[in-house]
A and B are shown apart, each in its own frame.
Chain A
Amino acid sequence: MPVIAALAGAALVGLLVFGVLALGSNRTLDQAVAAGREPQAPDYTRPLPELNGAGTASLASYRGKVVLLNIWASWCQPCQQEAPLMESAQHQLEAHGGTVLGISDKDAAGDSAVFMRHYHLTYPDLRDVNGEFAESFGTAALPESFLLDGRGRILEISRGEIEKGFVQRALALAEEQ
């Protein structure tokens, strides 16, 4: 009987540890980027539904392009604040063969579409309906942005609202490629 009680106790502690670890955000990508390892974007080929269209696309669909990946939601106020900067970045990146790619995270399609219209956003957007894509990037709060090179490797991460410097580095990369 003490053995069973000990096993039950160990199982409970294990469950607690798992819960704490599962709730914590994953910072593996940040560490890899900080170490200059340029990790491959997770879920690179995961198909996501397009916001404006019936089809799906994945990060792999943008292979060969510099991508400023922006994870956002329509209810998120910092996302609203950075929206004009994103659109401006899109105009500049597009001229150099790059693109901003929005990923609306657990956001109703109607709400996302209203947001895109309201801020006159012209870049493509994919819907992360269940949040798994954002989770694979370690997203804990919105907005978050990732700079990807043409091979889908992550060069820079911005957890929070992006700054102009981030966009400039994206442009410089697009110009190089």
Chain B
Amino acid sequence: MSRPVARAGRALAVPVLAAAMLGLSTSAQAMSAAAPPATTAAASDGGAQAPAEVAPRTTLSVIEHQVMCVTCKIPLPEAQSEQADRERALIKRLIGQGRTEAQIKRTLVAEYGPAVLSLPSSQGFGLAVYLVPPMVALAALVLLMFALPRWRRRGRRDEGAWGAGRHATLSPSEAARLDSDLARFEP
């Protein structure tokens, strides 16, 4: 009875570990995407006043990958709709005006609301997106730290008990029959 439990425990360890790794990786990605890029740190005018006809400071591709199509609710690079085209046109216009990445994102939020960003803000409730996955991953790791040695001990104990009890349950006649059967397979 305890043997399948130990096996199930070991089997469960794989997805739990995978989930923990995924949580850490997702969180790391989210943190890196949420952090303002170095080029945008100097932006302080809130995107309201940007000179026209200046060198672009970012690209459509860079912005697109951080933005959602607000009506289709899918990432903008994958969206093919009127609304998505409008969003792209606006981004292109803002790039043409020399706006920085942060300024463009602020303008997009002002026009379409916070849902336009693929990743929520790292302030307020949105912070949960960045905190919860590492916390879950950490909890899973702690759980595994305690559970894995127990599963191992239980597995060894079960194997030992099974090994010891193997002959104990055979009667002398059964043991003799087993030996003769095994002998038939020996070369």
Taking beta carbons and an 8 Å cutoff, which residues of A are in contact with B?
A: 1-2, 5, 73-77, 106-111, 129-132
Contact = CB atoms under 8 A, between A and B. Distances in A.
A146 B12 CA distance: 53
Contacts, number: 45
- Which one of B5, B85, B113 has the highest number of Cβ atoms from chain A below 10 Å of its Cβ? B113
A108 B90 contact: yes
23 contacts: A1-B5, A1-B12, A1-B147, A2-B8, A73-B83, A74-B86, A75-B82, A75-B85, A75-B86, A76-B82, A77-B82, A106-B70, A106-B83, A106-B113, A107-B86, A108-B86, A108-B112, A110-B90, A111-B90, A129-B110, A130-B114, A131-B70, A132-B113
A69 to B, nearest CB: 19
B86 A111 contact: yes
Contact of A130 (B5, B85, B86, B115): B115
Contact of A106 (B8, B9, B12, B71): B71
Interface of B: 5, 8-9, 12, 70-71, 81-83, 85-87, 90, 110-115, 147
Contacts of A130: 112-115
B8 A131 contact: no
Contacts of B85: 75
A-side interface mostly = loop
Nearest to A130: B113
A110 to B, nearest CB: 8
Given A1-B12, A130-B113, A75 B83 contact: yes
A110 B89 CA distance: 11
A77 B110 CA distance: 24
- Which one of A5, A77, A108, A132 has the highest number of Cβ atoms from chain B below 10 Å of its Cβ? A108
B74 to A, nearest CB: 13
Nearest to B150: A1
- Which one of B82, B85, B111 has the highest number of Cβ atoms from chain A below 10 Å of its Cβ? B111
B154 to A, nearest CB: 11
Across chains A and B, which 7 residue pairs bring their CB atoms closest together, nearest first? A130-B113, A75-B82, A108-B111, A106-B70, A129-B113, A75-B83, A75-B86
A2 B12 CA distance: 10
A76 B90 CA distance: 17
A5 B5 CA distance: 12
A129 B113 CA distance: 5
A66 B147 CA distance: 67
